[in-house]
Amino acid sequence: MSTWWRRNRWALLALPLVAGALVLVGSYRVHTFWDRWQLTEPVEATAGRPTTFNDTLEDANGSYEVALTVEAGPTTVAGAIRDAEGQTHFFPTHEGTRVWQTELTITADPDTILSGCSARLVDTEGRTTHYTQTTAGVPLPVSPCVPADATGPGAELGFGGDATPAPTRPETFTVPVVFRTAEDFVPNRLDLSWSTPRYLSIQLDVEEGP
């Protein structure tokens, strides 16, 4: 055995173990600051098939359960949207962008708190576009997962406020979810979440059209 091997053999054996241990120990930062606070636990779903999703959330009154079944329709490029009063709003055109729409059919106990939902589109390259009320250019509901005119109960955030109960939400309803994206953005997934880290990840059925 040469001097080099004799001198370094134990180090060579230990090296991968030490490197592995270092990665393992160093990953506490990812666990502490990322895993719990980002969407890292997907519940997989596919457009056209109803999927059940549940999560445990917390508000000022304590913890509560969210349980619902979601079925996503086809995802298409949209030119207009009809609001709760049946009025049609045309999306303004902006060069280099498109507006995508997916209809979600949701079934849930009317007493379940569903407002406060977040939605994001993910394209085939992993780029994300988040749902906002304003970017489409027409008034959209704050929460994309409940009907604008019948949101049902909301979470107690501890601010107090008026005690007027929200209009009762039907057990099953359909809501359009609208995103304005870059023109080359082709949706692949729609992610719905009420908290982190659990979320519903729906594989979309995209119809790009003409």
Partner 1 sequence: MSTAAEPRGEAERLGAFLREIGRSVLGAFTVVGSAARLLAAHWPVLVTVLLLGALARELALWGSFELSKVSPVGATLTVALAPLASVVALILALRAVLPSLGHVPDSGGVDRSRQLAILASALVPFLAVYAAQGYLREDTRRFVNETYADEYLTTNWFLGESADGRTWADSPVPVVVAVVVIALVLRWGLDRFGLAERNLAWGFLAGWVEALWLVTVAKTVSTGWSDVWSWVQGRQGVRWIIEGWEWVVSVLGPVGAGIQSALTWVLQLLGDFDTLVVVPLAWLAVGAVVYGRELATPPTATDLSAVRQRLVGSIQDERVEQGWAAARERAAAARRRAKRVPGWLRTWVLAPVTSITDRFAALGTGLLRLVRAGLVPMVTLCLVLILARHAGVVVADLLRRIIGPMDPELGGITATGPETVLSLVTTLLMVVLIAAAVDRFLVEEGREADAATSRRSGGQANSARTS
Contact residues: partner 1, CB under 8 A? 4, 7-8, 11-12, 14-15, 18-19, 21-23, 25-26, 28-30, 32-34, 36-38, 58, 60, 157-159
| Pick 60 or 80: Cβ nearer partner 1 | 60
Nearest distance from C-beta of residue 83 to partner 1, angstroms = 30
Both structure tokens of 28: 């506490």
Q: Within the chain, what is the greatest distance between any pair of CA atoms?
A: 86
| Pick 58 or 109: Cβ nearer partner 1 | 58
| Pick 23 or 163: Cβ nearer partner 1 | 23
CB 204 within 8 A of CB 73: no
| Pick 126 or 210: Cβ nearer partner 1 | 126
For residue 71, the number of C-alpha atoms closer than 13 Å in the C-beta half-sphere is 9
Nearest distance from C-beta of residue 180 to partner 1, angstroms = 22
Nearest distance from C-beta of residue 2 to partner 1, angstroms = 11
Residue type, 119: A
Residue type, 121: L
Q: What angle do CA 37, 114, 169 make, to 5 degrees?
A: 175
The continuous run of DSSP H or E covering 25 comes out as helix 3-26
Q: Is 51 left (phi over 0), alpha (psi -120 to 50) or beta?
A: beta
Nearest distance from C-beta of residue 55 to partner 1, angstroms = 17
Q: How far apart are the first and last CA of the chain?
A: 72
Tell me the C-alpha distance between 153 and 155, whole Å: 7
Nearest distance from C-beta of residue 20 to partner 1, angstroms = 10
Contacts of 134 (CB under 8 A, 6+ apart): 140
| Pick 58 or 149: Cβ nearer partner 1 | 58
Nearest distance from C-beta of residue 106 to partner 1, angstroms = 26
CB 26 within 8 A of CB 18: no
